[in-house]
Structure 1
């Protein structure tokens, strides 16, 4: 019989519609701005009495609190207005001690029964949710210098093992120079070093009483180091952002030496900048013996006591790159510490160095690359130049009691916050080269809400115009098309929520475009039905022919658009991808609603009935 679906097809459509409705519902429950109060130590508890004190203090300050909650992680206070978050955090921070952390948060408001079905709202992008945008620049010169420092340390170790005397090392640009007391020592060193270090161009230099060996990195090696530095920094930054718990962050390369980082939903920009831009690393070195030659030693001050210093060996046992995991805790006296686990190579090197130096001191050297601005006058104009510099300080100097292995701890830290950040940096990995902030842009939650309101308004206007056009042009069939359009929008939102896709302003533009394109298939079908009616077909035959003969045109048109959307997604970045995601998902949902849902409605209304005239 014409225009009748089998029962299974109706049931399939109902199941899809039910799933779409359920998984689109969480978007009606946006996240609440909140303040999270949690303890940094297990012995500090937060109770109902303290929650009442916090909410009373906020109410007295004119900040509206919607709800307060207590769970295993601490206290969560939901606020009515996102603009009150910073003020609320400052008020509560003044009421608690150093053992309690007060942080900004966005709290889920999805009902429990939807959460039990793993239903969650769409993730909003930076332009809708607010957050921070960083443009970072990688210091390629420092990357080369760091590699040369590592090579110099390895060469010194090699020369000592071969009992070849040297006077010192010097690094300038991409050239490493070794000074020797005689040409014989220089020539012997060159034969040994050239075998293990083929990435240098070697040149003998004669100077006065001694001789020198200049080693310059080849152009290919320089390019490889710079490419490694940018890629390693990308990986490290992604790990750090993951540690921050940011939903749908963006970390990507821009040009030869820049990286873009976008963190949607982050409102504590100072903390984000401190963690993302931290260039800290650790070096483990032995304290120098009194009879150690000066060329093999360096002196450093302690970070928490500049009046105290220690002389360390230049050679590094291991760096923070050998750390496989790190966590913060407290020692038996309640002082913060970081528990370290090393990888296999790091554990071997640490064990080799400590088992032969029991009773000797080992230092943990904290290294941080920073920049400062200085004003330079050129042609009568003041120009601000960025001047990089490096701070090195000892955070721990302890006696080696026994041979260390893959696990040990770092003490001597100033605060639990410093311990938490140090463990985070060690877990996520150190940067292969220092990075500097070139640009910082903050988008506030209020601006994000304004973008959302405008985007919703554009969708409403587009939807209204399409609905009116279809009703005027196709009457009853226009009403059916509008029902399909509403279902299409619901399924699109559900699909984005289920896939965890990020909604951005360009994504909203894709939704508006999808609404306009969604009725194209219905227009093709309805115009075909009109043609068949004018050709003298019966109503049932015209409906059947309209859907069947328009099918190929609809599929062809949508597949070509879908291919373009996939290309945009594969080669585009950020905003372009957001547009491509909503467009491609919208094409799939519009084909489903136009070819199956609207026909199912038409079949239920007209199928198998003696209809003599169509309102189309």
Structure 2
């Protein structure tokens, strides 16, 4: 006999109610979106009467999660950037000079004087005074090599050291270059993602393309130029030893040094050692603050290794100036008064409150390890997105209406039950999309349209099976029960195979393909639920009340 326990009935209707409640904010999209933006602004400290009024336009006790609209629906900015990996090789070689110099100094009695020579960006060249003892020098420098930290570089070292006459040539090994390229790309992806997340954009697409390119798509942002400004700001912070100070912009800094301008004193320049003592990569936190005179500043804190190097340097160089440089400009050049342990400090300068806050955000997000060259940029207007939304609505309504009419004409009362379940099914899809914060793209709309057609498949299997059982002279109750029992295996098999396809599309695909896979996968889950439980429960309730002697499907 047809039976449904009371707790099952409650659970089914409660699930439907919760799903439709979660989907409800999407029916008031503009209003709820403005409310969410106002709440976010209030949490960031912008607590104005206008923001409070906007925040009050939607009840706080109702769900406020929305389905995020993708770039093709909302409009926004599209960038394709190339990471200049050669910059990383140059930085590594510049940072290696102090280490090589310090390692060779104890052997000066035999190898002679040590002097850095002009080099290509990806190599370090060091001349020694006694080339007849080159073998000893090579052994010392090769001793600085470390194992490559990657699976592909097992058994390899990071430095390749050779000799050309009286010159030691140090470069990165092939295995280290591959490992460095991979780390640089991963770090660039993460930093770009952090910077975009800091400005509160919704569901950006940031993914790697090829060996050295990054695809960036951000819905809802004004223009590609605005996006480039957010991403392209380097905010590279370094602490460098000061060699000299000059007012000559054409001064020769010498090999291993750099000439950088002063940010606070126009016309003044500092000659600093290119290899930093500590860099922004060692930062673990940066916050806007105020100095002892009440001026805007930025407080910072290093990690353990950075704190140790910073502390050792300040202990050994008391009375000497050192430069705090930001994007190749000296922010300040204080004299070290005492040992600075703990790895924390404060950056002062001619900042406004807004500039100190922005600088703290950029430092927190980290410096890009290499320059980004933008190969392609597009600004997609919302008008194009609105056209896509309108076309998607029309397609969905036509498909939805055709399915409703077909089911009602083909299966009568049972078809009406299937139509009600189909409406609930679409609501549940949007409820799940809102709950997980998924992004709806134009292919995602296609996935929903496809789900509308597929959602009735399970009901068609059940109803056709009930027809066959009725032809076998089964009673109405027995026919309905057997119809659901015998159709269950076919329903499960068909939907599991489709769900596996959706999972493969999500794992292997990217961008629009993933959007299609998400809506298809969620649609399969909700359609199976509504077909097996919701439609069956409606049929059971109808049968319990009518108790028909015969039924027509």
Common fold: TM-score over 0.5: yes
Q: Does 1:300 align with 2:260?
A: yes
SS of 1:287 mapped into structure 2: strand
Match of 1:351 in 2: 311
Match of 2:334 in 1: 398
Match of 2:239 in 1: 284
Give aligned pairs, total: 527
- Deviation track 1:396-420 (CA, whole Å, cap 9, x = no partner) reads 1122222223111111244444323
Match of 1:159 in 2: 104
CA distance 1:199–1:19, change in 2 (3 Å)? closer
The one of 256, 265, 269 aligned to 1:309: 269
Question: Is the contact between residue 78 and residue 224 of structure 2 (CA under 8 Å) also seen in structure 1?
Answer: no
CA distance 1:530–1:316, change in 2 (3 Å)? same
Unaligned ranges ≥5, structure 2 = 146-156, 246-251
SS of 2:119 mapped into structure 1: strand
How far is 1:562 from its partner? 0.8
Match of 1:424 in 2: 361
Q: Does 1:202 align with 2:147?
A: no
Q: Which has the larger share of strand? A: 1
Match of 1:150 in 2: 95
Q: Does 1:262 align with 2:262?
A: no
CA distance 1:11–1:417, change in 2 (3 Å)? same
* TM-score, with length taken from structure 2: 0.88
SS of 2:113 mapped into structure 1: coil
CA distance 1:34–1:432, change in 2 (3 Å)? same
SS of 1:298 mapped into structure 2: strand
Match of 1:512 in 2: 449
The one of 319, 327, 347 aligned to 2:287: 327
Unaligned ranges ≥5, structure 1 = 39-67, 79-105, 368-391
CA distance 1:336–1:160, change in 2 (3 Å)? farther
Question: Is the contact between residue 470 and residue 482 of structure 1 (CA under 8 Å) also seen in structure 2?
Answer: yes
How far is 1:537 from its partner? 2.3
Question: Is the contact between residue 491 and residue 589 of structure 1 (CA under 8 Å) also seen in structure 2?
Answer: yes
Match of 2:527 in 1: 590
User: Residues of 1 paired with 2:26 and 2:138: CA distance?
Assistant: 68
User: Residues of 2 paired with 1:222 and 1:69: CA distance?
Assistant: 46
The one of 134, 142, 152 aligned to 2:79: 134
How far is 1:294 from its partner? 4.7
Aligned-pair RMSD on alpha carbons? 2.9
How far is 1:267 from its partner? 2.8
SS of 1:30 mapped into structure 2: helix
CA distance 1:76–1:249, change in 2 (3 Å)? farther
- Deviation track 1:158-216 (CA, whole Å, cap 9, x = no partner) reads 3346556312233315332112233156444322111112533333223xxxx211234
CA distance 1:237–1:195, change in 2 (3 Å)? same
SS of 1:436 mapped into structure 2: strand
User: Residues of 2 paired with 1:71 and 1:281: CA distance?
Assistant: 25
* TM-score, with length taken from structure 1: 0.79
Match of 1:193 in 2: 141
User: Residues of 1 paired with 2:442 and 2:404: CA distance?
Assistant: 23
CA distance 1:29–1:157, change in 2 (3 Å)? farther
